[in-house]
Amino acid sequence: MEDAKQWMIKNKEMLILAGVVGMILSPFLWPFFLAITVQTLGFLIPILIVRTIMKKVQKKKQKEKKRIYEELYKESVNCNSRRNVSGQSKTDGQKVQETKSVSKGNKQSSAEPSKDTVKKGREMSDSSCAALMWYQLEGRERIFRLMKRMEKEDRWSFSISPEGICTVCEEKGYRRIGALKSFPGREMKVLEKELRKDCIRAVQRGKFLWLSWGKEYRQ
């Protein structure tokens, strides 16, 4: 403290001069500082607003995806339960046939489905439900993005391989335009029905699924 007081006493005239200069220049400097403050706020406020809106949209999308996932999961569970019940239940005619075969002692009833058949039916049901869930949760959005990108090039169709590789036909051959992650290539029939609901013509030709819309859809 004593050092500070001594320094102030030694530089008293300099401090007085600095105060006078500051008072004279303050009317000219305040608008400059205010302009910087306003520009900073004008730059930050839109960023904060956009960030808040994006967070709300993301939360809304997450809730919607969660709701769709829960509904599809319930459907898949019901589908599997019905498949199990139909695989395990026996009709009256089958029971009578088994009774007759037991009385004869030489024949066994073949009316009841084997374990391999039931297992195969379950796998088909599970894969169909998984394909439907993929399309509802992420497939539709990704396909529509590719469609918008192709519309800018005045193209209204493209094909999807079983691996999810998307290509368009050109004069020199085929050009890759994107890839669909986790594409259910074995369940293209299920995807055809869902795509048609969204006004997209979907036709399976060989191993590829061809999509067309807009001009091509009306032809």
In a domain, residue 164? The reply is yes
- Sign of the four-CA dihedral 138, 141, 146, 149: negative
In a domain, 151, yes or no: yes
Within a domain: 54: no
Reduced to 3 states (helix: H, G, I; strand: E, B; else coil), residue 130 is helix
pLDDT at 1 over 60: yes
Structure tokens at 84: 């199990």
pLDDT band at residue 19 using 50, 70 and 90 as cut-offs: confident
* pLDDT tens per residue across span 146-159: 999 999 999 999 99
**Token couple for 185:** 């290539």
CATH number for 210: 1.10.10
131 domain-assigned: yes
Note whether residue 40 is domain-resident. Answer: no
Distance CA(150)–CA(157), nearest Å, equals 8
Residue 136's Cβ-count burial label (10 Å; 0-12, 13-18, 19+) is: middle
198 occurs within a structural domain: yes
Residues 6+ apart with CB under 8 A from 208: 159, 160, 161, 162
Domain that holds residue 121: 115-219
pLDDT per position as a tens digit, 200-219: 999 999 999 999 998 655 55
**Are the CB atoms for 94 and 109 separated by under 8 Å?**
yes
User: Residue 175 domain-assigned?
Assistant: yes
| Average pLDDT estimate for 11-15 | 78
Bridge pairing between strands 165-170 and 208-212: unpaired
216 close to 201: Cβ distance less than 8 angstroms: yes
In a domain, 64, yes or no: no
- Structure confidence by residue, pLDDT tens digits, 27-86: 777 777 788 888 888 888 888 898 889 888 888 877 776 676 666 556 555 555 555 555
Per residue in 79-133, pLDDT (tens digit) is: 555 555 555 544 444 544 554 554 444 444 444 444 554 444 454 567 888 888 8
CB atoms within 10 A of CB 61: 11
How many domains in the chain? 1
